[in-house]
Structure 1
Amino acid sequence: MLNLLSILTGIISLIIVIPATIPLLGWANWLALPLIVIGVVLGQLSSSGRGGRNFCLIVGLIAVVRLSLGGGIF
C-alpha cells in the first residue's frame, strides 16, 4: 500500500516537474521537491517493493538537475 502511495506521489511530482523544465518556470521544482521527499520516505517504508522509491528518486534527480542548470530559481 505504501509503495502505491509512493508511486502516486511520484506521478503528481512528475506532473509538476515536467512543465518546470520550461525556462522561467524552474521555481515550480521547489514545489515538487517536498512531494518527492515524501514519496521517497513512503517508498522506503514499503515492504512490498522499491519501485515507488526508485521512481521518486528519478523524478527528484530530474528536478535537482533542472534547478542546478537554472541557478536555483530559473
Structure 2
Amino acid sequence: MLNILSFLFGLVSLVIVIPATIPFLGWANWLALPLIVIGIIVGQLSSSNSGRNFNLIVLLIAVIRLSLGGGIL
C-alpha cells in the first residue's frame, strides 16, 4: 500500500516537473521537490523499492532542470 502511495506522489510530482522544463517555469520545480521527498520517504518505508526508485528518477529530472536554470528560471 505504501508503494502505491509513493507512486502517486511521484506521478503528481511528474505532472508538475514536466511543464517546469519549459523556460521561465522552472520555479514549479520548487513546488515539486517537497512532494518528491515525501514520496521517497514513503517509498523507503514500503517493502518494495519501485516507488522510491520512480521518485528518485523524478528528483533527478527536477534537480538537473534546476541546475540548468540557475535554481530560479
TM-score above 0.5, yes or no:
yes
Number of aligned residues: 73
Identity, % of aligned pairs? Answer: 77
What is residue 63 of structure 2 aligned with on the other side? 64
Letter in 2 for 1:35: L
Q: How far, CA to CA, are the matches of 2:41 and 2:5 in structure 1?
A: 10
The Cα shift of 1:30 comes to 0.1
**Structure 2 match to 1:17:** 17
Trace 1:1-74 onto structure 2 (pairs within 5 A).
1-47=1-47, 49-74=48-73
Structure 1 runs (4+) greater than 2 angstroms displaced: none
| SS in structure 2 of the partner of residue 9 of structure 1 | helix
The TM-score with structure 2 as length reference comes to 0.99
Deviation at 1:40, TM superposition (A): 0.1
Q: Which runs of 5+ in 1 are unaligned?
A: none
What secondary structure sits across from 1:71 in the alignment?
A: coil
CA separation in 2, counterparts of 1:54 and 1:12?
A: 15
Cα deviation for residue 50 of structure 1 reads: 0.4
Normalising by structure 1, we get a TM-score of 0.98
Per-residue deviation, 1:8 = 0.4
- Gaps in structure 2 of 5+ consecutive residues: none
